[in-house]
Amino acid sequence: MKEKMLLKLERDRLKAKIQMQKTSMLPSVPEAAPEPKMGSTIKKLTPFPEDERINPFQTQQFEAYPYKQSVLYKTYPGHMMAITRLAFHPKK
């Protein structure tokens, strides 16, 4: 009884394997794009604006920040990994 069940399982596996090989050998036919349904809307992408604006700060010169006068007043033990970027907010 057990042998008969194992033979059927093996036969089914081989049939599935042969069927997969046959379908992979056939040339694939490109499918047509599905037509939109009634009442559905197609989303359009927003175009990027042209970047031809003038930068008003391009000609100005700013003085360097006096970093030697900075004082550490607050620490936060977040993690032990290295810091790769820092954002400086002079007004905060």
Q: What is the pLDDT of residue 36?
A: 64
Q: Which amino acid does the sequence have at 70?
A: S
Q: Tally the C-alpha atoms within 13 A of residue 63's C-alpha that lie toward its C-beta.
A: 3
C-alpha–C-alpha distance, residues 51 and 10, integer Å: 65
- Contact between 36 and 42 under an 8 Å Cβ cutoff? The reply is yes
Does the CA dihedral 7-13-18-22 come out positive or negative?
positive
Q: What is the pLDDT of residues 14-42, one digit of tens each?
A: 999 998 888 887 666 666 666 767 766 77
Nearest Cα to 65, choosing from 85, 84, 88? 88
Q: What is the pLDDT of residues 55-69, one digit of tens each?
A: 888 888 888 888 888
